């Protein structure tokens, strides 16, 4: 569609339109994206009463954001008619339509109807599944594939989840900037506040492991000797503490340190590792350091904790503590690596660090490994490269026959990061046998350098 004169002269910002049926969270998202820079809400005479527009900065790029919410009441007719009327002129000018659905409600007939209409408009569309907070959210979001508008991006506008990813996706779809002007400092507010996206925030780290593995000693070591009180005096510890560490990349927040402190006070031998406490810590964390007493080798309970970490989709760093007390280091390292490789195949390449929390030797190696693991967990693989690799994998080994018929696998896309989650589309793809899934997951790990992190592969059968 040709450029319709729609915005004030001299303003040639790319236009991003937020569309979707009423109540999916469009206004909430609009406010989130605009942040505090809501000064520019303007009427567009002759179009609608109160079309909400504002300038937003997305990854350093200025865009004009249009919220189509609240316009439905203005138009008569059916719900569909109202949605269409409210969006028609906005969508016609859009450089990008952000089409929202409500992941909690699932796909409604109104979504389907509206999506079909949006598709016919021929504008670039980014599908967003809002209200997808929490773990069930992402799964529910995947239902939105059925709309035929591409891979849904799970977000929660209200809770601020997935917004950074969303802004990346929006920025990627903006027309090239011409002429290439440097981003003006004015975009960043007087006191350096975030305006274009949430500040990265501290990396959230949990330290877990069996009793006596050396978790408290490690924590003390990381914090500097004096900072943590491990003594038995009652009343000295408080339950909710935020413990921040800093390395050269910024802050790291230690989660569940209160629980760690409580447990650390219990006398040796009496303490039972509580699975629920570990799970609580895992849920709050991004990276989990699993501390092992290296003099004892790998215990079944260590593997159980590692599997919990995998199940929760967190990335894991294995810390071999008490290295000072290990006699044959080469043999010990080998034995532990072998055990891990055979017992934790789903986390192949898990990073391992050995140190002595007691003496402090090599403890400084831990945080760089944590940072690297975090990067891997956050990684996004471009769809082009992914599918070139995928075709090569299909050529190397054809997908197996299932009840006499060959599965037709079509393409893959990365639905999300944290942990890396891929979706595989194809006719009857949902029937893909596990060994072929493993072949693909192991291949992904190697090709795209994803060691140690959990990788999710979702199968989507198409007709």
Instruction: Enumerate binding residues for ligand GDP (CB under 6 A).
Output: 20, 22-28, 69, 130-131, 133, 156-159, 209, 211-217, 264, 321-322, 324-325, 356-358
* Closest CB 345 distance from ligand GDP, rounded Å: 27
Give the pair of three-digit tokens for residue 354.
């050995």
385-420 core/surface letters (b: 16 or more CB in 10 A; e: else) = ebeebbeebeeeeebeeeeeeebebeebbbbbebbb
**Residue 24 is assigned to a ligand binding site:** yes
Quote the least distance from Cβ 393 to ligand GDP, whole Å.
36
- Based on CB atoms, which residue is closest to ligand GDP, 82 or 131? 131
**Sign for the pseudo-dihedral over CA of 90, 34, 149, 393:** positive
The reply to whether 209 sits in an annotated binding site is: yes
Residue 273: how many other CB atoms lie within 10 Å: 16
CB of 1 or CB of 47, closer to ligand GDP: 47
Instruction: Phi first, then psi: give them for residue 344, nearest 5 degrees.
Output: -125, 55
The verdict on whether residue 22 carries a ligand-binding annotation is: yes
68 labelled ligand-binding: yes
Q: Are strands 203-209 and 96-102 parallel, antiparallel or unpaired?
A: unpaired
Residue 273 or 394 having the CB closest to ligand GDP: 273
To ligand GDP, the closest distance from the beta carbon of 245 in angstroms equals 17
| In the complex, minimum distance from the CB of residue 275 to ligand GDP, in angstroms, rounded to a whole number | 16
| Residue 127 known to bind ligand | no
Cβ proximity to ligand GDP: between 136 and 398 the closer is 136
Q: Which is nearer to ligand GDP, 74 or 325 (CB)?
A: 325
- What residues have CB less than 8 Å from 190, skipping those under 6 apart? none
Return the bridge partners of 16, or none.
65, 96
Q: Which of 433, 446, 385 is nearest to 411 (CA)?
A: 385
The count of other CB atoms within 10 Å of the CB of residue 223 is: 15
For 165, 241, 352, 369, 447, the CA distances from 218, given in Å and listed in that order, are: 33, 17, 15, 15, 34
CB of 355 to ligand GDP, least distance (A): 7
- CA–CA separation, 151 vs 144, rounded Å? 8
**β-pairing verdict for 408-416 and 421-427:** antiparallel
Give the tokens for residue 46: 């002759």
Of 95 and 324, nearer to ligand GDP (C-beta) is: 324
**Smallest separation (angstroms) from ligand GDP to the CB of 207:** 8
The verdict on whether residue 321 carries a ligand-binding annotation is yes
- Tell me if 457 is assigned to a ligand binding site: no
Distance CA 231, CA 424 (A): 53
6's tokens = 């729609």
In terms of Cα–Cα distance, which of 363, 346, 364, 368 is closest to 450? 346
Q: Are 457 and 424 in contact (CB under 8 A)?
A: yes
Quick check: helix, strand or coil at residue 70?
A: coil
Is 220 annotated in a binding site? The answer is no
Report the residue number, 278 or 453, with the smaller CB distance to ligand GDP.
278
67 is in an annotated binding site: yes
Query: Cβ of residue 126: shortest distance to ligand GDP, in angstroms?
Result: 16
- 106 is annotated as contributing to ligand binding: no
CA dist., res. 187 & res. 143, Å (int): 37
Name the residue nearer to ligand GDP (CB basis): 238 or 272: 272
Q: How far is the CB of 85 from ligand GDP (least distance, A)?
A: 15
Q: Please give the annotated binding residues for GTP, written as ranges.
A: 20-27, 67-71, 130-133, 209-216, 256-260, 321-324
Residues in the annotated binding site: 20-27, 67-71, 130-133, 209-216, 256-260, 321-324
């Amino acid at each position: 569609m040709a450029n319709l004169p729609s915005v004030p002269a001299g303003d040639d910002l790319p236009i991003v339109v937020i569309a979707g049926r009423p109540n999916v969270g469009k206004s909430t998202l609009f406010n989130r994206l605009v942040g505090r820079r809501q000064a520019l809400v303007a009427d567009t005479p002759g179009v609608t009463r109160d079309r909400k527009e504002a300038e937003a900065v997305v990854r350093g790029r200025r865009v004009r954001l249009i919220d189509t919410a609240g316009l439905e009441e203005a138009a008569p007719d059916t719900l569909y008619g109202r949605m269409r009327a409210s969006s028609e002129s906005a969508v016609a000018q859009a450089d990008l339509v952000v089409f929202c659905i409500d992941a909690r409600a699932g796909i409604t007939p109104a979504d389907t109807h509206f999506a079909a209409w949006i598709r016919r408009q021929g504008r670039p569309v980014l599908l967003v599944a809002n209200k997808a907070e929490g773990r069930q959210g992402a799964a529910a979001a995947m239902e939105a594939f059925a709309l035929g508008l591409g891979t849904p991006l799970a977000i929660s506008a209200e809770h601020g989840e997935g917004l950074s990813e969303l802004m990346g996706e929006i920025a990627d779809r903006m027309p090239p900037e011409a002429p290439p002007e440097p981003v003006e400092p004015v975009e960043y507010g007087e006191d350096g506040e975030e305006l274009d996206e949430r500040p990265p925030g501290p990396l959230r780290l949990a330290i877990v492991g069996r009793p006596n593995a050396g978790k408290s000693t490690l924590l003390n070591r990381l914090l500097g000797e004096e900072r943590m009180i491990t003594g038995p005096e009652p009343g000295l510890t408080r339950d909710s503490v935020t413990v921040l560490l800093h390395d050269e990349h910024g802050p790291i927040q230690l989660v569940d340190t209160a629980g760690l402190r409580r447990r650390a006070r219990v006398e040796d031998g009496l303490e039972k590792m509580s699975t629920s406490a570990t799970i609580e810590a895992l849920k709050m964390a991004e990276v989990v350091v699993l501390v092992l007493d290296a003099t004892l080798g790998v215990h079944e309970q260590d593997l159980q904790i590692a599997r919990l970490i995998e199940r929760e989709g967190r990335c894991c760093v294995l810390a071999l503590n008490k290295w000072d007390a290990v006699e044959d280091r080469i043999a010990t390292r080998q034995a532990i690596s072998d055990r891990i490789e055979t017992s934790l195949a789903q986390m192949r390449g898990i990073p391992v660090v050995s140190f002595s929390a007691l003496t402090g030797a090599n403890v400084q190696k831990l945080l760089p490994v944590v940072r690297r693991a975090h990067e891997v967990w956050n990684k996004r693989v471009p769809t082009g490269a992914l599918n070139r690799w995928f075709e090569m994998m299909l050529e190397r080994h054809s997908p197996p026959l299932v009840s006499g018929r060959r599965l037709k696998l079509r393409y893959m896309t990365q639905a999300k990061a944290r942990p890396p989650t891929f979706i595989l589309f194809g006719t009857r793809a949902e029937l893909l046998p596990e060994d072929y899934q493993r072949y693909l997951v192991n291949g992904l790990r190697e090709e795209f350098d994803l060691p140690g992190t959990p990788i999710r592969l979702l199968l989507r059968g198409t007709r």
